[in-house]
Amino acid sequence: MGDWQRYLDEHQTRFTEELVDLLRIPSISTDSAYREEVRSAARWTANRLQQAGIEHVQIMETGGHPIVYADWLHAKGRPTVLIYGHFDVQPADPLEQWAHPPFEPHIENHTVYARGASDMKGNVLLPILACEALLRSTGELPINIKFLYEGEEEIGSPSLEPFIKSNSDLLVCDMVVCADGGVGSKEAPVMNVGRRGLTAIEIHVRSANTDLHSGGAGGMAPNAIHALVALLDSMRDSEGRILVEGFYDDVRPITDDDRKELGQYPFHPEVYKENTGIKDFFGEPEYSPVERNTMRPTLEINGIYGGYQGEGTKTVIPREATAKITCRLVPDQTPEKIRQLLIAHIERHAPKAVDVTVETFAGDAKPYVIPRHHEGLLALERALSAVSDKPPVRVRGGGTVPVTALLKDALGVETITLGASLGNDHAHAPNEHYDLQNFARIQRAFCLLFEELAKA
């Protein structure tokens, strides 16, 4: 470690203040009411890149939220790494479950609480701060670096694919470092070697042209909620197996190598239950919770709505009901095929007395796994080992980062992942938080990774 370590140490207080600054921007990409706030987060990120000494900083328009690009390309003969991240965040509701307002960051016990703290505004800063430390202390970077920060990750990155395709010359690189990730726990770090894919649908059921009186119409008219409930219940069995015809056809069987890696995964069932408040784990009983979370696909109802929502009772037969569903996908499932299977299942099982329509969304993502012996992965392993007490363990993540499979397809490069999020950060949930000691540690890991990649 060189002078960059001293630079990082001396500026941690400022870095935390900058993170708090970024967290104040409610850059919720899924809600069009926050459109300007997403742009404001883009501007903030662009300014911070500039300030760090990164060059060619640009806010680039897409059909949706803008993308921030920047680069530093003076390490002749050295590899070029593309760093990916996003400055948009999930919605903050249910607001009443936050101990502090989600966009007024609260710091307590080396932890910052705010929407986007863990996913992923802290991680947005990590490689910028690492570059700044290297540039200020050594005058250069050990490798060539390009930044690609988007504002649509939480809505499935609909603009990213066309953007990458029409800017493939600008983005050409030897590998990608995805900053949208974490190290599992501080004690026993993990390295992400794969991500699940995603596809989303919304089901609308309509049973009449008006809500009906449950006295006058009860026994005559179909009920949109009952029809929706029956349809949804046809999609999973009582143990969580997905019943959509053909859903598991393309799922890669779990191999002995997979099981060996998974066996090292630092998962503590009792701690997980305590952190989440679940009574018990749930899902296909023929797989372990960690296997189900990383190497098996899921189908989850994310939201449901219909009928009377007020206080007390209302004797109504509702005319409409809606459910939002997402599926996490694993190799070799594809979002296109799964979406078609979902639609076919819905057509087959939709109760005849009602109208059912399916809405699909842009922003599907393919699942992704990096080859076991990729040199970037080995460099990351060395960098993480140097800042940790234990060697990192390889895991496949349950979440989705669409860009990995997308960059593989568009640029032919593999992706490694480095971020400072922890497993119990409450990402996407109330009271999301981020460990500031780990924030500082992974800034070091980024500096070391860049140095390791220079040797590759």
- Within 149-188, the residues that bind its own copies by CB under 8 A are 155-156
- Which is closer to its own copies, CB of 316 or CB of 378? 316
Q: Which of 144, 185, 326, 417 is the binder for its own copies (CB under 8 A)?
A: 326
Q: Which of 120, 143, 232, 384 is the binder for its own copies (CB under 8 A)?
A: 232
Under DSSP, is residue 321 helix (H, G, I), strand (E, B) or coil? Answer: strand
Contact region with its own copies (CB under 8 A), list: 45-53, 99-107, 233-241, 375-383: 233-241
Shortest CB 449 distance to its own copies, Å: 24
Cα distance between residue 22 and residue 14, in whole Å: 12
Q: Which of 209, 270, 373, 389 is the binder for its own copies (CB under 8 A)?
A: 209
Shortest CB 448 distance to its own copies, Å: 26
Shortest CB 138 distance to its own copies, Å: 37
Q: Find the binding residues for its own copies in span 357-386 (CB under 8 A).
A: 361, 363
Tokens representing 96 are 């009443």
Cα distance between residue 85 and residue 159, in whole Å: 14
Q: Which amino acid is at 361?
A: F
Q: Which of 27, 45, 144, 207 is the binder for its own copies (CB under 8 A)?
A: 207
Q: Find the binding residues for its own copies in span 295-324 (CB under 8 A).
A: 296, 298, 300-319, 321, 323-324
Q: Which ranges of 54-212 would DSSP assign to H, the alpha helix? A: 122-138, 160-166, 168-171
- Specify the pairing of strand 320-329 against strand 197-206: antiparallel
Q: Find the binding residues for its own copies in span 122-151 (CB under 8 A).
A: none
Q: Find the binding residues for its own copies in span 234-273 (CB under 8 A).
A: 236, 238, 240, 272
Q: Which of 116, 376, 397, 419 is the binder for its own copies (CB under 8 A)?
A: 397
On the question of a cis peptide bond just before residue 256, with omega within 30 degrees of 0, the verdict is no
Side-chain half-sphere CA neighbours of 17 within 13 A: 4
- Which is closer to its own copies, CB of 142 or CB of 158? 158
Q: Find the binding residues for its own copies in span 14-43 (CB under 8 A).
A: 30-32
Q: Which of 47, 50, 97, 357 is the binder for its own copies (CB under 8 A)?
A: 97
Distances (CA, A) of 455 to 37, 110, 143: 40, 34, 9
Q: Which ranges of 53-158 would DSSP assign to H, the alpha helix? A: 122-138
Shortest CB 374 distance to its own copies, Å: 22
Q: Find the binding residues for its own copies in span 427-446 (CB under 8 A).
A: 427-431
Q: Which of 277, 371, 373, 389 is the binder for its own copies (CB under 8 A)?
A: 277
Tokens representing 232 are 């949804």
**Quick check: 343 binds its own copies (CB under 8 A)?**
no
Shortest CB 272 distance to its own copies, Å: 7
- Which is closer to its own copies, CB of 304 or CB of 378? 304
Shortest CB 114 distance to its own copies, Å: 15
Which secondary-structure segment (H or E) carries 327?
A: strand 320-329
Closest by CA to 418, choosing from 448, 398, 391, is: 448
**Quick check: 210 binds its own copies (CB under 8 A)?**
yes
Residues near 438 by beta carbon (within 8 Å), at least 6 away in sequence: 183, 186, 420, 422
Which secondary-structure segment (H or E) carries 137?
A: helix 122-138
**Quick check: 198 binds its own copies (CB under 8 A)?**
yes
Q: Find the binding residues for its own copies in span 211-230 (CB under 8 A).
A: 211-223, 225-226, 228-230
**Quick check: 402 binds its own copies (CB under 8 A)?**
no
Cα distance between residue 266 and residue 270, in whole Å: 12
Q: If binding means CB under 8 A, how many residues of this protein chain bind its own copies?
A: 104
Contact region with its own copies (CB under 8 A), list: 127-135, 171-179, 206-214, 332-340: 206-214
User: Which of the 8 DSSP states describes residue 278?
Assistant: -
Cα distance between residue 70 and residue 151, in whole Å: 15
Shortest CB 38 distance to its own copies, Å: 13
Which secondary-structure segment (H or E) carries 199?
A: strand 197-206
Tokens representing 313 are 């009772």
Residue 55 near residue 144 (C-beta atoms within 8 A): no
Q: Which of 96, 169, 280, 389 is the binder for its own copies (CB under 8 A)?
A: 280
